[in-house]
Chain A
Amino acid sequence: MESATTATTATTEERELVLKVEGLRIVLDPSGVDIDDEVSMEIHRGEVLGLVGESASGKTTVGTSLLDYQRRGAKIAGGSVEIDGHNVLDMDAGKLRSIRGGAISYVPQDSSASLNPALRIGTQLMEILEVHGFGSSQADREARLAQMMAEVLLPSDKAFLRRYPHQLSGGQQQRVAIAMAFANRPKVIVLDEPTTALDVTTQAHVLETVRDLTRSYGVAALYITHDLAVVANLADRIAVMYAGKVVEIGTRDELFDKGHHPYTRKLLASIPDITGERALRGIPGWAPRPGQRPPGCAFTPRCDWAVDKCTEQFPPVEVVSPGHRVRCWRYKEVGAQGAVLQAETGARTVMETAAEEKQIISVRDVTAYYQHKETLHGITTAVAEGHCLSLVGESGSGKTTLARCIAGLHPHKIVGDIEFMGKPLARDARGRSRAIRQAIQYIFQSPYSSLNPRKTIAQILSQPLKVFFDLSRDEMEDRMVKALEQVALDSSLLSRYPDQLSGGERQRLAIARSLAAEPTVLICDEVTSWLDVSVQAAIIELLAALQRDMNLSMLFVTHNLALVRSISQEVAVMNDGRIVEYGLVDAVLEDPQADYTKKLLSDTPTV
């Protein structure tokens, strides 16, 4: 660790060092189990450091500890956080209060939860200036307020400032939070996944704003995310965290072109590739939580490069080049591999559509309502046998509504024809025959909500089996084990409860439950949006394989255009309840016709 912190780099030497974190260690409070350990990093003026890692890697905990704040049940046990040479962790409460929101500020993940719903946004923004005594007069502060709003591209007129947070869109709320963070011209700013809740278009705007403000004010920014693609165009340097430790840190290019840690390379390979030149590869397993981390290098169980030594001892900091540090016993061999992000030949099997495929699901001129408001306007589309149709759009585009109409889960008025193998479908799932309910299976967006937490995994899997088949106890057991095998889950999980599973495992379980019904059509509604990018890749791999092997027809609903190539043959782009573009994936992505598709394409973060 000594070498880690002393190795100030040649490339960034000219720039003034603002934030220096050294040997930071954070533990769970009563038990003393590590959340983070040996975390060292430095950020210079005007630089963005991307902090990347999967869920439970401890990255948010590092982020808040820069403000000497810990959530309940955790505490900082060692190390230092220096801003301009002053250790934040040594400060008393009064001093801390003055630097929080002043010299260092924080943008949380969900700004709708961080803005006070009872106060007008103008009041909240003014408050942060007043508390930190910005400027010398009210006029100064008002001028600054107008300037802040302009910086984040929001109007600063009275009417807008008098709004309450709920009267703003998600993107606007996030920008208000960013304006607040930049209000007192901080030296350091911590951004904790500020765009995860936003649509790609809004995300693109927010990222641009962050980039511009950081550069123009010379702020040192720490950008926390699980998605490497998001920081690819934003961060100057990137730190990769795994199981509470920084395993690799270096400039953007160093990590993207010659990553020396197997985990960095795997994270890169799991980023969906919009060009489809690269195969999508997930990382099997999941990042272990505090208290469940194996000894030695915690990545060992998921690593292709692991040797005996890895389980015994965590490797020391190795300096690859000045500023590029890695912790892996075999970093030289790993680094000697070529770049991850190069095109592979034959990575994707292109499936050509014959002129007239048999249509499994056809939707003709469907208009749907929510209460009395029309949300889908005359949709016509179809899913061909053995094909996957991706339904892409931002929130509010009606993609989920369409999927639910097909699944018989839309409880409001629907007009038009929805057919399954040429026969009209009843509007409500209860009105459909058992055979049809069995043939069309729906997988929900959030595996945290779609699995009953009070039931064991065996009980969950037995649901479709009991409804659709007449099986003996033994047959049931066999089918359950088989369903788990299909999604690469172990049959020993049967007696467990869903909350003993990770997010990715839960989604696999949800898929297994649908597969147990032996469906013809699988409707996947944003099934990866709650998951880490690495887990998302694994789920996509799984679904693609299942579709191929079982000749399933699939409707894949997503907001992420980059995923489309990895899974589907056809794509329909939706906006405002209409399909604005439809065609073969390659055709649409390479030569988009609709303006909306073009915009969506350009806003999707890529590497």
Chain B
Amino acid sequence: MSTPEIRVNDSELVEPPVVHADRRRSEWLMMLREAWRMGRTKIGVGIFAFIVLIAVAGPWVAPYSPTEFVAPPFSPPETSTMWLGSDYIGHDVLTRVLYGGRTVILLALAATVIGLALGVTLGLITGYARRWIDESVMRILDVVLAFPQIVLTLLFVSILGPRLWLIVVIVGVSHAPRIARVARAATLEVSQRDFVRAAEAFGIARWKILFNEILPSITSPLLVEFGLRLTYSIGLIAALSFLGFGMQPPAADWGLMINENRIGIIIQPWPVLMPVLLIGILTIGTNLIADGLGRALIGIERDTGVQ
């Protein structure tokens, strides 16, 4: 068979879809707008903004210093002086909750960005190069994929020691294979289009074709993937802190707080309950955003057809 020949005005083209010119300009802008119409996205963004606000503004409004001893260990809450009681060595729980969000969110974001950068690069290269590069890289990624992310991160952290940058890098790297798959699939499809071939005919450098021609066309699925991976990063980073590989005492950190205070959960549940609730709500928020984006993307593909 030679190159497939299509010489039809496909029905979408004969009767163009009813979309205004300005709305068609950028697919991902359109996706954001479409996603924003959905209730789930609004709730997700609301939750995310709320938690981020706590993490960012918390230290400014906290009543005490996070390392200040304000009461005997596991004191119950007291109105106006100690809303959530004290923790296992007598720090104010509310203060530590307000301080403890920054690290989780920052580390999760950083890890996700690293994973995205690495995964997208791998996906672009394998999707465009095909042949042996594609085969070998994807098989290696398959091996990485075979390990649960938490096992993989624990393995490296226990070998190399609990360093913050290492956790970020490892969580990021452990995301890369999944992101690479998504990016590769999108790249495969886009690189079939003639504008890529036109760029090849001009002799434009391969890396320029990857980043200037193909990357802008696959941003939408990547945005969805980013939201999803962020959710997993939050969970992973919190879990690592809980296991003692993240922030070290006396730092205030939600994951660490859960671990430190779990022995007293019967007499003083707040230092465990609050971080658990906040982490849980945060992941629900990011997940709702990713879900909204994903649904919007599917909706747009259905409406406009693949041109």
Q: How far is the CA of A468 from the CA of B203 in the complex (A)?
A: 9
Within 8 A of B (CB), among A476-504: 497, 499-500, 503
**Chain B residue nearest in CB terms to A195:** B8
The answer to whether B201 and A407 touch across the interface, beta carbons within 8 angstroms, is yes
A contact patch SS: loop
Q: How far is the CA of A529 from the CA of B5 in the complex (A)?
A: 10
The stretch among B12-20, B74-82, B84-92, B256-264 that forms the contact with chain A is B12-20
The answer to whether A110 and B8 touch across the interface, beta carbons within 8 angstroms, is yes
**Chain A residue nearest in CB terms to B206:** A430
The answer to whether B5 and A409 touch across the interface, beta carbons within 8 angstroms, is no
CB distance from A171 to the nearest CB of B (A): 13
Q: How far is the CA of A355 from the CA of B9 in the complex (A)?
A: 41
Q: Mark B274-307, 1 if CB is under 8 A from A, else 0.
A: 0000000000000000000000000000010001
Residues of B close to A162: CB separation below 8 A: none
Does A309 lie at the interface of the complex (its beta carbon under 8 Å from any beta carbon of B)?
A: no
The answer to whether A503 and B13 touch across the interface, beta carbons within 8 angstroms, is yes
CB distance from A375 to the nearest CB of B (A): 5
The answer to whether B198 and A450 touch across the interface, beta carbons within 8 angstroms, is yes
Q: How far is the CA of A71 from the CA of B5 in the complex (A)?
A: 27
CB distance from A373 to the nearest CB of B (A): 7
Residues of A close to B163: CB separation below 8 A: none
The answer to whether B8 and A196 touch across the interface, beta carbons within 8 angstroms, is yes
The stretch among B98-106, B147-155, B189-197 that forms the contact with chain A is B189-197
The stretch among B21-29, B60-68, B138-146 that forms the contact with chain A is B21-29
Does B204 lie at the interface of the complex (its beta carbon under 8 Å from any beta carbon of A)?
A: yes
Residues of B close to A61: CB separation below 8 A: 15
The answer to whether A442 and B201 touch across the interface, beta carbons within 8 angstroms, is yes
Q: Mark A185-226, 1 if CB is under 8 A from B, else 0.
A: 000000011001100000000000000000000000000001
The answer to whether B2 and A370 touch across the interface, beta carbons within 8 angstroms, is yes
The answer to whether A450 and B8 touch across the interface, beta carbons within 8 angstroms, is no
CB distance from B187 to the nearest CB of A (A): 14
The answer to whether A499 and B24 touch across the interface, beta carbons within 8 angstroms, is yes
The answer to whether B201 and A60 touch across the interface, beta carbons within 8 angstroms, is no
Chain A contact residue count (CB 8 A cutoff): 66
Q: How far is the CA of A375 from the CA of B13 in the complex (A)?
A: 31
With beta carbons under 8 angstroms apart, the residue of B27, B195, B200 that contacts A429 is B200
Q: Name the residue among A441, A453, A559 with the largest chain B CB count within 10 angstroms.
A: A453
Does A245 lie at the interface of the complex (its beta carbon under 8 Å from any beta carbon of B)?
A: no
With beta carbons under 8 angstroms apart, the residue of A196, A434, A437, A449 that contacts B194 is A449
The answer to whether A463 and B204 touch across the interface, beta carbons within 8 angstroms, is yes
The answer to whether B13 and A530 touch across the interface, beta carbons within 8 angstroms, is yes
With beta carbons under 8 angstroms apart, the residue of B2, B16, B195 that contacts A450 is B195
Does B11 lie at the interface of the complex (its beta carbon under 8 Å from any beta carbon of A)?
A: yes
The answer to whether A452 and B217 touch across the interface, beta carbons within 8 angstroms, is yes
Q: How far is the CA of A74 from the CA of B197 in the complex (A)?
A: 37
Does B159 lie at the interface of the complex (its beta carbon under 8 Å from any beta carbon of A)?
A: no
Q: Supply 30 A–B pairs (Cβ within 8 Å), ascending by A.
A: A28-B18, A55-B9, A55-B14, A55-B15, A60-B11, A61-B15, A71-B15, A72-B303, A73-B17, A196-B8, A197-B7, A226-B14, A396-B5, A404-B3, A408-B201, A429-B201, A429-B203, A432-B203, A441-B201, A442-B198, A442-B201, A444-B197, A448-B13, A452-B195, A453-B217, A454-B26, A467-B204, A517-B202, A530-B9, A530-B13
Supply 19 further A-B pairs (C-beta < 8 A) apart from A110-B8, A450-B194: A55-B9, A55-B14, A58-B15, A60-B15, A109-B14, A193-B9, A290-B18, A404-B3, A445-B194, A449-B307, A450-B195, A463-B204, A464-B202, A467-B204, A499-B21, A500-B21, A503-B13, A513-B198, A559-B5
Those 8 A-B pairs whose CB atoms lie nearest each other, nearest first: A529-B7, A454-B216, A450-B194, A449-B194, A444-B194, A452-B195, A73-B18, A197-B8
